Amino acid sequence: MPWQRDELALLLSPEGKRFLVKIELKKINTHHGEIDLKKLLNVSPGNVVYTHKGIPFITLKPTLYDLIHHLIRRTQIIYPKDLGYILVRLGIAPGSKVIEAGSGSGALTLTLAWWVRPTGQVFSYEKEERFIKICQQNLDWSGLNKWVKLKHKDIEEGFDEREVDAIFLDVKTPWQYLYQAWKALKGGAVLGMLVPTTNQIVEILKAINGLPFVDIEIMELLLRKYKPVAERLRPTDRMVAHTGYLVFARKMTKNE
Q: Binding site annotation covers 154?
A: yes
Residue 126 assigned as binding residue: yes
Nearest alpha carbon to residue 69 among 169, 13, 171, 142: 142
Q: Is 108 annotated as a binding residue?
A: yes
107 is in an annotated binding site: yes
Tell me: is residue 12 an annotated ligand-binding position: no
Nearest alpha carbon to residue 37 among 56, 14, 21: 21
- Residues of each annotated binding site: 105-108, 126, 154, 170
- Residues of each annotated binding site for S-adenosyl-L-methionine: 105-108, 126, 154, 170
